[in-house]
A and B are shown apart, each in its own frame.
Chain A
Amino acid sequence: GAGVSQSPSNKVTEKGKDVELRCDPISGHTALYWYRQSLGQGLEFLIYFQGNSAPDKSGLPSDRFSAERTGGSVSTLTIQRTQQEDSAVYLCASTQQTNRYTFGSGTRLTVV
């Protein structure tokens, strides 16, 4: 597609439930990143996929967070047993091995 697409745009979930967030990167972009942004804060790095290499998971805040990238394209970020502190905007970005990232509009997650 022309840009990075994220879905859903908004998600409200009950504490303790699992959620899946989806990211469709720009076709041909080999690198994909997940960040999250809490209200009024900067972006917090979560995970980075580069081609067929093992992902850099160093930013995942707990073992409740996981992500996969199937076929080198679509990525899914899964949060298990959601907590209120998980409420944030989750942003996905892709790039073709440069520092020029293209971000999606994000998924706003609210845990109630």
Chain B
Amino acid sequence: LAKTTQPISMDSYEGQEVNITCSHNNIATNDYITWYQQFPSQGPRFIIQGYKTKVTNEVASLFIPADRKSSTLSLPRVSLSDTAVYYCLVGDSQAGTALIFGKGTTLSVSS
């Protein structure tokens, strides 16, 4: 399974754009890149998934360069409620293996 590396923590202020970059140098051809968000005392929640280029939904954008060895989760105009742990995962859903969660990036948003 492709291993991912992301910063342990990040700090931001309300209204700023936050970009969290994840490295996955040995991503496989069939792997997708998936991001989850976890609030305290809750299970992780799916945010966004992509294979290449850019994906955008109502919550975030995901930028994936052509070589797919990294990806960047972009959160526009964060608020206090975006304070959470963000996990970057890489995997092939058809491979019959579970996603492996690392420690994620703890994002702290201040006013």
Contact = CB atoms under 8 A, between A and B. Distances in A.
Nearest to A3: B43
Nearest to B33: A99
Contacts of A103: 42-45
Contacts, number: 57
B43 A99 contact: no
A42 B43 contact: no
A4 to B, nearest CB: 8
A45 B43 CA distance: 13
B93 A99 contact: yes
Interface in A65-103: 91, 93, 95, 97-103
A41 B43 contact: no
Given A103-B43, A104-B43, A98 B93 contact: yes
B103 A93 contact: no
A42 B101 contact: yes
B96 A56 contact: yes
Contacts of A97: 93-94
Given A45-B100, A99-B32, A99-B34, 15 more contacts: A4-B43, A35-B101, A42-B103, A42-B104, A43-B44, A43-B87, A48-B97, A53-B96, A56-B97, A56-B98, A91-B43, A97-B93, A100-B49, A103-B45, A106-B42
